[in-house]
Amino acid sequence: MIDSRTAPYAALLLRLSLGTMFVAHALLKLFVFTLPGTAQFFQSLGLPGVLGYATFAAELVGGALLILGVGTRWVAAVMVPILLGATWAHLGNGWMFSAPKGGWEYPAFLTAAALVQALLGDGAHALGSVAARDRSGQLQTA
């Protein structure tokens, strides 16, 4: 049974955690690995280097939108392919993310978390929920 009193706060906690993680990973790509370095890593995997730049942008913008609670379901769903790509990139490194070059369990868990967020929606204190209210103060469901 879902506790309707606490479920919105659970969704909020998940949304803030995922958003913060995405922003942190984007900033890691920018300041530590550098964007050209990230592009080179993508190329070393046999992927187009430009995908590194696109991933950086998706993580930064998607993370910010999640933190704000704007388009939460859509943003979380759009991030799933990126997380599946991260899982694939780390698949050959073993289970634990502490393994050299990182394992696959962390991105796999984040994939599941993003799917849960897409199913849950905004949660409490989301700007998207505020914007969806009509003039009468009722939350629009469509």
pLDDT band at 128 (very low <50, low <70, confident <90, very high): confident
What per-residue confidence (pLDDT) applies to 110? Answer: 97
Contact 118, 76 (CB under 8 A): yes
C-alpha to C-alpha distance for 133 and 112, rounded to whole angstroms: 29
Of 26, 13, 1, 20, the residue nearest 122 (C-alpha): 13
Give me the residue spans of the domains in the chain: 7-131
Cα angle vertex 9, ends 5, 13, to 5°?
160
User: Model confidence over 25-75: pLDDT tens digits?
Assistant: 999 999 999 999 999 999 999 999 999 999 999 999 999 999 999 999 999
> What pTM did the predictor assign?
0.89
Which one has a higher pLDDT value, 67 or 95? 67
Query: In sequence order, what are the beta bridge partners of 139?
Result: 133
Q: What percent of the chain clears pLDDT 90, i.e. is strictly above it?
A: 80
